[in-house]
Amino acid sequence: MTEKIENDMLRIEVATSGAELSSIYHKNHKQEYLWQGSPDWWPRRSPVLFPIVGKLNGNLYRMNGKIFSLPQHGFARDMEFKVGRRGTNTVEFVLESTEELLQKYPFPFELKIIYSLNGVQLYIHYEVKNEGLKHMYFSIGGHPGFALIPGETPADYYIEFEKAETLDRHLLQEGLFSGKSERVISNEKILGLNNDFFTKDALVFKNMKSSSLHMKSRKSDYAVKLTFAEFPYFGIWSKPGAAFLCLEPWCGLSDTQGFEGEFSAKEGIQSLEPGKTFLRSFSIEIES
């Protein structure tokens, strides 16, 4: 099932499956901005990453002497959410832990994903509540894929950061950090993209100064702006030659190769006290 919200500028569609954003349509431009999925390249559009971001070493994690398993990016993207509060410009999706989920993720929780519109801005708000009696450990992040002009590949885009950046990409090997890095930008605001970047998986940045960035087309005036001040990590991903680009604000990271420590010691993990709620938001703005 799909829920819709809209205003004079934008029409948004979100699937109850995974609370996944499935459309960002600009009414004046008469254009879809979100990648629409393809089994030949990447079937998803904008999955929610929870309760992990990225991949676990061996798809396993350890808590208090017990070993559990989670797939890459967790389970929320494959779960059916309930529709909560709803208005003309906002819609809320809710996922609660179940006995089945507690077998692989032993933390009672409530996860809310709230989408709201203001002009040409879409706000995506995460609420994670610890419903248990012990500290809860988790990660969460976004994974929206954009296609500004049909057929354009990452080589047709560039990234403009809010501030001049000197950034290393932290290299992944089969989804895990290898411990190696490569410099991709030195005291510049513009990062030119090419398809070869993604032969080594995603660009993953850990120490950005910017809290926003623009994805711009080299061939048109169309652009999107992401604002993500509350997210300490950022991923940029595509597949070589694919006609989409994912911009991913994260509160969490993949494991490093060989990591076998406690889940609570995982790099980027979030800790939440019993009864407390974790809040994070980012926004997508359509520009021209």
- The mean pLDDT of 18-43, rounded to a whole number, is 95
| CATH annotation of 2-287 | 2.70.98.10
Q: How distant, in Å, are the alpha carbons of 27, 109, 212, 226 from that of 95? A: 31, 8, 28, 25
User: In this structure, are residues 149 and 220 in contact, taking their beta carbons and an 8 Å threshold?
Assistant: yes
> How many whole angstroms separate alpha carbon 235 and alpha carbon 250?
7
> How many whole angstroms separate alpha carbon 4 and alpha carbon 152?
27
pLDDT score at 240: 86
Is the peptide bond preceding residue 232 cis, with omega within 30 degrees of 0? Answer: no
- The mean pLDDT of 18-24, rounded to a whole number, is 98
> How many whole angstroms separate alpha carbon 15 and alpha carbon 13?
7
Is the pLDDT score of 20 beyond 90?
Answer: yes
pLDDT score at 150: 82
Strands across the sheet with 90-96, in order? Answer: 82-86, 90-96, 109-118, 121-130, 277-287, 223-227, 212-217, 157-173, 176-192
> How many whole angstroms separate alpha carbon 273 and alpha carbon 287?
39
State the DSSP code for 188: E
Q: Where are the domains positioned within the chain?
A: 2-287
> How many whole angstroms separate alpha carbon 57 and alpha carbon 46?
24
Residue 188, exposed/middle/buried by CB under 10 A (0-12, 13-18, 19+)? Answer: middle
pLDDT score at 220: 85
Which tokens sit at 253? 């990271």
pLDDT score at 151: 85
Could you tell me the end-to-end alpha-carbon distance of the chain, in angstroms, rounded to an integer?
A: 31
Supply the mean pLDDT for the chain.
Answer: 96
- The mean pLDDT of 33-56, rounded to a whole number, is 96
Sorting pLDDT into bands at 50, 70 and 90, what band is 149? confident
pLDDT tens digit sequence for 242-288: 999 999 999 999 999 999 999 999 999 999 999 999 999 999 999 97
User: In this structure, are residues 250 and 139 in contact, taking their beta carbons and an 8 Å threshold?
Assistant: yes
User: In this structure, are residues 110 and 87 in contact, taking their beta carbons and an 8 Å threshold?
Assistant: no
